[in-house]
Structure formats: C-alpha cells, structure tokens
Amino acid sequence: MRRLLAAGHTVTGYNRTRHKAQWLLDLGMRWGDTPRQVAEGAAVTFSMLTDSAALRAVAEGPTGIIAGLGPGKVYVDMSTVAPQVSREVARAAASRGALMLDAPVSGSVSTLEEGNLSIMAAGDRGVFDRVKPILQAIGPKVTYVGEQGQAVLMKIATNLSLAVQMLAFSEGVLLAEKSGIRREVAVEVLLNSVIASPMVKYRGPFVLRMPEEAWFNVAMMQKDLSLALDLGRQLSVPLLTTASANELLTAARSMGFEAQDFAALFDVLRRLAGMEGR
C-alpha cells in the first residue's frame, strides 16, 4: 500500500482490524468500511490474506470484494492459498464480469523495506499486461507464470525451500557448535560460503538472536508446507525434505514456538541434540 501511495496512486483500503491500518491512513490512504465498498470504488482491487479461510471471508458474502466487482474491474489476490481456492474465487469474480489474477509476493521484511519484492502472477495474459505497471510499483520483478492458480502454486513451491534451507543451515551450525566451534564463528563461515542463499543471509543470523517480532512465524510456514505436501500427493511428487521440515515445525509448536519466526527450527534441533537453550 505504501509503495502504491508513493507512486501516486489513489488508494482506498480496508483491514479487519482497523487500527493496524492507521499508519497507512496517516500516509494518505482512504478508508472503506467494507471490502465491497473498496471494490466498488476501484478499478483494480488487491487483497492479501493469511490463508484460504481468510480469503473467503473477505472475498465472499454480501459485504465481500466480489459483491463490489463489475464488468471491466480487476481483482488481484496476493494471498498464499490452495490453487483450487484461488480458481474458485476467480470464477466467482468472473460471474460478476470481472477478471482476477493470483499474484503472491516473494520476499522478507528486509526485501520489502529495500523495495526488492518479487511478484509472480497468473491468469489472463491481457489483464496481467494491463496491471503490470501497478504491480511494478509494489515490487520491481514481476513474472507472468501462466493460467489461474499457477502463481500461488509457484509461491508454495518457493516457500517450501525456505524451511528446508533453514533446517539444513541449523543442522550445520549445531554440528559445528557441538563439536566445539563457537556458534558465532560457524555462522560467519556459513554465511560467507557457497550455501549462503539470500534467504540464509538474512535469516541465518536468527540462530544467534531471534527478532522481537517474527518475520514469518512457525504457524504460517507450516500452513505453506501443508499446502505443498497436499499438492505433492495430488501430483505424485515426493517432497521428502519438506515433510521432514514440516514435522519439526509440528515439534516447534508443541514446544511453544508457534508465534516465533520459523528460524525456531534451530531451537527444536538444539533440544533434540540434548543441548541447553540458547
């Protein structure tokens, strides 16, 4: 929203918890009392929700986004949900004469602040070309993926690697630390090695100190891994490392780490290795 406002767009917004949007109102965003009211006054409507149930709650019903759509309008959903749910919402939008793209983002708090989010989009190619300049105001890298639902599928395929990479990084740090190498030294070596992906570089230091507020918590990451595993079963694709990471996230929840960043995988492994807390 902030980037759309900075680019000169007129933005009307809605949040189920209004006070969370106050900072955007302070920047000049207008307020809509319902999702329907926002969609009625906009040529392009965006949504970004936590899961499929939240998307349905905001998109459907008499006060939902779909009720405010009409011929010529575009609906862009940036949530990470099951592809089938995205397609069902798209069909509902089409029944109102509108067209929908699924366009989730890939990035973190740091990439958002730096303006380096990447966006993957799917749906009608003509609609994509029409709204691409608006998407580029949000993130500089915008890629067309294919037909409706394939962008959220691509996002799920991307996110499973986040947990798997963090798990592998944590294993390496713990192996080094338990052998007598200082954890700080192990982290420095790994972050300057060939295994240091962009994600590992910004989240790896969390094994030294967790952020006060989770960038992407255990519960949200497990939601995405569950979507990936469901798709793997449907498509007969074995997701072995994803399944392992998912089970350790279950352990993280049982240990009380549900609201912490999913880098808490390190703490789970630490306990399993018989090591004291950090």
Q: Which residues are catalytic?
A: 155
Segment 270-273 long-range contacts (CB within 8 Å, at least 24 positions apart): 270/174, 273/174, 273/178
Q: Report the alpha-carbon distance of residue 68 to residue 45 in Å, rounded.
A: 10
Residue linked to tokens 């790896």: 204
In this structure, what DSSP letter does residue 276 have?
P
Q: Report the alpha-carbon distance of residue 35 to residue 32 in Å, rounded.
A: 7
Closest to 40 (Cα-Cα) out of 96, 100, 83, 108: 96
Q: 277 with 264: CB under 8 angstroms? A: no
Q: Report the alpha-carbon distance of residue 123 to residue 144 in Å, rounded.
A: 9
Query: Residue 11: helix, strand or coil by DSSP?
Result: coil
Residue linked to tokens 């052998």: 179
Query: Residue 58: helix, strand or coil by DSSP?
Result: helix
Query: Residue 91: helix, strand or coil by DSSP?
Result: helix
Q: Report the alpha-carbon distance of residue 152 to residue 169 in Å, rounded.
A: 26
Q: Report the alpha-carbon distance of residue 200 to residue 181 in Å, rounded.
A: 20
Q: Are strands 74-77 and 118-122 parallel, antiparallel or unpaired?
A: unpaired
Q: Report the alpha-carbon distance of residue 44 to residue 266 in Å, rounded.
A: 41
Residue linked to tokens 């779909």: 66
